[in-house]
């Protein structure tokens, strides 16, 4: 593909006509991009008009050689976007990725799964899980980016954007130029305030490899682990911590695990499984503060109800916020946060796009604006955005929400857990199966099946789930309730499609 990229450099004129972008590519490292006039007819036909015309003039030096396309952020979405640029033959000499991490994009979900396996149980390590292995693609190591002619700027955060001059500023003082800019900055973990102990040594947040490495150092000497939060991160880290044979307690304010998705009944099954594995739960609890011991490291969690739980390692998994910091002038969504984009991931500022966790996009099938903090959307939004940017493709993103988790997968574990959910968890829930190992929950709204979750499905069953959730068939609730197994329930739904 990289040879195609070189060839495409000679075709920038024809590309510019399609896109309203006229980037006369140069092998020289010093050129600048400035606005020309675009055809008004194109402007009128698009709610968010992002394609711009540029000319190039000699200019002062910028720190990036590849200026036609710049991606800010080096996570899941950036990795899949890079692959799509390569597939279109438009990466080589044209694409620059700037990331604050020291690593090429990787499959972030691994950090609370294989990465935290006990050290004697073959934990995952880079370069094993660089993107795009999770999506069944080639492993894009740092060498891959070099071979494809993609310029990587590591360990430097973008701190500001000048949307008139098409420039970015970085923490280290670099100035970068872009033609089209894709914001893929993901989220940052929500932290406890410093005044209640949120920054004490021994308190961890897991968002990147550096965080996970720091947690592993703590786990090596830990005796008592407390996890704050009963969502994905909490569930995954708790499953890992008991694999290390550590005293593990999970604390959360809700009355059951994964409250935003699981029904109380489904959550109870998982809670029992966790308890059988040695995890203790403290539900309905509010944290007052994290307390330091005599050495200054965290030693205990104090709850609002007056009780105290000892801990030498605490992991906080209480959610994340979109990393919009430098891009606030690009247009933020006030309801779901993040950068507001249309169905082609174009922001309100011409030439600026947003993908992955940070994008607030139209969730077409449910007619609402959403941000989705899941890897499947990171991958698909990246592919959709870049394909639309580089081709004449104009069909809008039509995403079907898909969430999953996999835990207890280390060697020697009594039972592995792998569930998948597709659709919308609205309406009434019908549960089928005994969790031995399968169980399914079906959400039915106005007679139609809107969402489905299956634990321990076969590959064929998992493949059926998105089809069901997309079709939203009318289902006979009483018949579904009487199904004696997950297989039978799925067959009933299949027949009603």
Residue whose entry in the numeric block shows the structure tokens 């105290």: 308
83 forms part of the interface with ligand FAD (CB under 6 A): no
Contact 301, 308 (CB under 8 A): yes
> What residues form DSSP beta bridges with 189?
320
Of 323, 352, 388, 489, the one binding ligand FAD (CB under 6 A) is: 323
Counting Cα atoms < 13 Å in the Cβ hemisphere of 417 gives 21
* CA 99 – CA 71 distance, rounded (Å): 8
Closest distance of CB 101 from ligand FAD, Å: 4
Binding region for ligand FAD (CB under 6 A) out of 181-189, 287-295, 407-415, 450-458: 181-189
H-state helical runs in 112-200: 142-147
H-state helical runs in 104-177: 142-147
Of 404, 418, 435, 462, the one binding ligand FAD (CB under 6 A) is: 404
Nearest residue to 176 (alpha-carbon basis) of 387, 4, 33: 33
78 forms part of the interface with ligand FAD (CB under 6 A): yes
Contact 101, 171 (CB under 8 A): no
The residue among 185 and 313 lying less far from ligand FAD, judged by its C-beta, is 185
Contact 44, 38 (CB under 8 A): no
Report the alpha-carbon angle 386-96-165, nearest 5: 90
Contacting ligand FAD within 368-387 (CB under 6 A): 373-376, 378
Of 63, 157, 386, 389, the one binding ligand FAD (CB under 6 A) is: 157
- Find the residue with minimal CB distance to ligand FAD: 75
400 forms part of the interface with ligand FAD (CB under 6 A): no
Q: How many CB atoms neighbour CB 448 within 10 A?
A: 14
Q: Print the binding letters for residues 212-241 with ligand FAD: x by CB under 6 A, - otherwise.
A: --------------------xx--------
Residue whose entry in the numeric block shows the structure tokens 């992955």: 356
The residue among 63 and 430 lying less far from ligand FAD, judged by its C-beta, is 63
Of 20, 75, 179, 362, the one binding ligand FAD (CB under 6 A) is: 75
114 forms part of the interface with ligand FAD (CB under 6 A): no
Beta strands in 78-174 (DSSP E): 95-98, 151-153, 158-162, 167-170
186 forms part of the interface with ligand FAD (CB under 6 A): yes
Of 76, 218, 347, 425, the one binding ligand FAD (CB under 6 A) is: 76
Nearest residue to 245 (alpha-carbon basis) of 410, 471, 27: 410
Binding region for ligand FAD (CB under 6 A) out of 71-79, 284-292, 393-401, 415-423: 71-79
The residue among 149 and 317 lying less far from ligand FAD, judged by its C-beta, is 317
Of 83, 94, 108, 177, the one binding ligand FAD (CB under 6 A) is: 108
DSSP string, 263-314: -HHHHHHHHHHHHHTTEEEE-S--EEEEEE-TTSSEEEEEETTS-EEE-SEE
Of 5, 20, 74, 123, the one binding ligand FAD (CB under 6 A) is: 74
Binding region for ligand FAD (CB under 6 A) out of 44-52, 185-193, 273-281, 481-489: 185-193
Q: What is the 3-state secondary structure (H, E, C) of 344-382?
A: CCECCCCCEEECHHHEEEEEHHHCEEECCCCHHHHHHHH
Binding region for ligand FAD (CB under 6 A) out of 116-124, 138-146, 401-409, 473-481: 401-409
Of 64, 131, 185, 277, the one binding ligand FAD (CB under 6 A) is: 185
Nearest residue to 226 (alpha-carbon basis) of 139, 134, 121, 318: 318
Binding region for ligand FAD (CB under 6 A) out of 63-71, 99-107, 245-253, 281-289: 99-107
439 forms part of the interface with ligand FAD (CB under 6 A): no
Give the number of residues in contact with ligand FAD, rule: CB under 6 A. 39
H helix or E strand, kind and range, residue 494: helix 486-495
Lookup: tokens for 342: 């249309």
Contacts of residue 240, defined as CB under 8 A and 6 or more positions apart, other chains included, come to 112, 113, 116, 117, 407, 410
* CA 487 – CA 480 distance, rounded (Å): 11
The residue among 360 and 489 lying less far from ligand FAD, judged by its C-beta, is 360
The residue among 56 and 266 lying less far from ligand FAD, judged by its C-beta, is 266
357 forms part of the interface with ligand FAD (CB under 6 A): yes
8 forms part of the interface with ligand FAD (CB under 6 A): no
Closest distance of CB 419 from ligand FAD, Å: 10
Binding region for ligand FAD (CB under 6 A) out of 103-111, 344-352, 426-434, 482-490: 103-111
Report the alpha-carbon angle 388-167-46, nearest 5: 30
Closest distance of CB 273 from ligand FAD, Å: 17
Residues that bind ligand FAD (CB under 6 A): 72-78, 98-101, 108-109, 111-112, 157-158, 184-187, 206-208, 232-233, 323, 326, 356-358, 373-376, 378, 403-405
């Amino acid at each position: 593909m990289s040879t195609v990229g070189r060839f495409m450099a000679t075709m920038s004129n024809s590309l510019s006509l399609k896109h309203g972008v006229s980037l006369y590519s140069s092998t020289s490292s010093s050129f600048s991009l400035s606005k020309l006039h675009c055809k008004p007819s194109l402007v009128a036909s698009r709610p968010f008009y992002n394609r711009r015309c540029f000319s190039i003039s000699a200019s002062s030096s910028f720190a990036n050689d590849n200026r036609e396309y710049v991606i800010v952020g080096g996570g899941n979405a950036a990795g899949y976007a890079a692959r799509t640029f390569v597939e279109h033959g438009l990466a080589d000499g044209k694409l620059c990725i700037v990331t604050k991490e020291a690593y090429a994009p990787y499959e972030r979900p691994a950090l609370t799964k294989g990465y935290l396996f006990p050290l004697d149980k073959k934990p995952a390590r880079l370069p094993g899980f660089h993107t795009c292995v999770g999506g069944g693609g080639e492993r894009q190591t740092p060498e891959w980016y070099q071979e494809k002619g993609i310029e990587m700027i590591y360990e430097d955060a973008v701190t500001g954007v000048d949307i008139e001059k098409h420039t970015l500023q970085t923490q280290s003082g670099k100035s970068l130029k872009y033609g089209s800019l894709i914001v893929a900055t993901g989220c940052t973990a929500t932290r406890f305030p410093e005044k209640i102990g949120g920054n004490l040594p021994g308190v961890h947040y897991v968002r990147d490899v550096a965080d996970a490495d720091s947690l592993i150092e703590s786990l090596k000497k830990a005796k008592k682990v407390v996890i704050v939060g009963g969502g994905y991160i909490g569930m995954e880290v708790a499953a890992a911590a008991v694999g290390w044979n550590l005293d593990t307690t999970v604390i959360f304010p809700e009355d059951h695990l994964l409250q935003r998705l699981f029904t109380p009944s489904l959550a109870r099954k998982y809670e029992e499984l966790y308890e059988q594995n040695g995890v203790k739960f403290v539900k309905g609890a509010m944290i007052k503060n994290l307390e330091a011991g005599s050495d200054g490291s965290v030693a205990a969690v104090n709850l609002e109800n007056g009780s105290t739980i000892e801990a030498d390692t605490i992991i906080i998994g209480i959610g994340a916020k979109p990393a919009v910091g430098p891009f606030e002038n690009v247009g933020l969504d006030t309801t779901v946060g993040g950068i507001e984009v249309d169905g082609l991931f174009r922001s309100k500022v011409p030439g600026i796009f947003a993908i992955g966790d940070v994008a607030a996009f139209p969730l077409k099938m449910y007619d609402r604006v959403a941000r989705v903090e899941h890897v499947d959307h990171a991958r698909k939004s990246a592919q959709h955005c870049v394909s639309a940017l580089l081709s004449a493709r104009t069909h809008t993103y039509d995403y079907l929400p898909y969430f999953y988790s996999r835990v207890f997968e280390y060697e020697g574990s009594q039972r592995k857990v792998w569930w998948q959910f597709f659709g919308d968890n609205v309406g009434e829930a019908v549960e089928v199966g005994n969790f031995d190992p399968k169980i399914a929950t079906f959400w039915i709204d106005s007679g139609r099946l809107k969402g489905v979750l299956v634990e321990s499905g076969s590959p064929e069953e998992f493949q059926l789930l998105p089809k069901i959730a997309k079709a939203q068939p009318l289902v006979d609730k009483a018949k579904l309730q009487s199904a004696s197994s997950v297989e039978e329930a799925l067959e009933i739904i299949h027949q009603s499609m």
